Amino acid sequence: MTGELAGKRALVTGAASGIGRAIAESYAREGAVVAVQARSVERAEETLAAIKAAGGTAFAVAADLTDGAAIEAMCKDAIERLGGIDIVMNNAGVADYKKVVDMDESFWDRIMDVNLKAPFLVAKFTLPVMIEQGSGGVQLFNASTNAKTADAEWTAYNSTKHGLVGFVRCLAAEVGAEGIRVNAICPGWVDTKMAVKAHEDFARDMKEPYEKVFDESMRLNMLSELIPPQAIADMAVYLAGKGGTYITGQAINICAGLSVH
């Protein structure tokens, strides 16, 4: 721990597990006070316990990220309890795949609402305070290497991630003069519950053993390694801290070489 984020106030969405939990814990270890968002306060308990056990400071805020009014209330709650806002990490997302001809509107809407509309709303409801404070700030977004690729049957998911990177670039131009940096982190396959669920579906559809499908797919990168959530958290700390001072409008891959494999 270096105290890189000492005195900072952060909101992390989707922080009950996986990448979001690793980021929330890392921000707290570096000295930030963290608002941990999950669908319910109960779902955030393990993250909060880990942060407090390590001597950090955090509290839970809850919202259904498909509900605009709930997102607004959650952002207001987080800002009031933090006493302002310096860092927003839009991490929450859902992943699913289906052929376009088999896709109904509810499938499309669910992925769009969580992966693209919710980050827009979180930014919308936190930026006014960040701007008013006059001390700059950081808005980060968890995209994906899928934001830069074309993948059959992942049309809805990839569309949200392509859109998110476009949003990041435009927002960076919009708020740069306010000293607010805006970036996207684009992970490859990371060892999380979401990845496990996706590979369970792959194995079912391919009629192959889960362990074989998971290992071969997750290690299909230049390093032939599973990427831990902490690798993404380390970049989230870097971009939120002094190292990221002159980085904005970027979509940075953390993929062990998957994107060019």
Q: Give residue 93's region: left, alpha or beta (phi > 0; psi -120 to 50).
A: beta
Express as a percent the part of the chain with pLDDT over 70. 100
> Residue 149 domain-assigned?
yes
* Residue 202: partners with Cβ closer than 8 Å, 6 or more residues away: 208, 213, 217
Per-residue pLDDT band at 216 (split at 50, 70, 90): confident
Residues 116, 85: Cα–Cα separation, whole Å: 21
Which structural domain range is residue 171 located in? 9-190+228-260
Tell me, yes or no, whether 210 lies in a domain.
no
Residue 206, domain member (yes or no): no
For residue 209, being part of any structural domain is answered with no
Q: What is the pLDDT of residues 31-54, one digit of tens each?
A: 999 999 999 999 999 999 999 999
Is 247 within the bounds of a domain? yes
- Report how far residue 181's alpha carbon sits from residue 176's, in angstroms, rounded to the nearest whole number: 6
229 pLDDT above the threshold of 80: yes
pTM: 0.94
Per-residue pLDDT band for 1 (boundaries 50, 70, 90) equals low
Q: How confident is the model at residue 193 (pLDDT cuts 50, 70, 90)?
A: confident
CATH code where residue 14 lies: 3.40.50.720
**pLDDT tens digit sequence for 88-126:** 999 999 999 999 999 999 999 999 999 999 999 999 999
For residue 145, give the DSSP letter: G
Among 8-17, 128-137, 250-259, name the one with the lowest average pLDDT: 250-259
* Selected catalytic residue, list 27, 97, 157, 210: 157
Q: Quick check: is 76 in a domain?
A: yes
Cα gap 224→229, rounded to integer Å: 16
Q: How many domains does the chain have?
A: 1
Rg of the chain over all Cα atoms, to the nearest angstrom = 18
Let me know if 3 is exposed, middle or buried by CB neighbors in 10 A (0-12, 13-18, 19+).
exposed
Would you state the pLDDT for residue 218? 80
Q: Which helix (H) or strand (E) holds 161?
A: helix 155-175
Cβ contacts of 27 within 8 Å, gap of 6 or more? 5, 8, 10, 12, 34, 87, 89, 236, 237, 240
- pLDDT of 60 reads 98
250/238 Cα distance (integer angstroms): 13
pLDDT in tens, 51-66: 999 999 999 999 999 9
Q: What integer pLDDT is reported at residue 61 of this predicted model?
A: 98
Q: Which residues share a beta bridge with 34?
A: 10, 58
| Res 230 pLDDT > 90 | yes
3-state secondary structure at position 137: strand
- pLDDT-derived band at 128 (thresholds 50, 70, 90) equals very high
Answer yes or no: 157 catalytic: yes
Examine residue 46 and state whether it is found in any structural domain, yes or no. Answer: yes
Q: Is 205 within a domain?
A: no
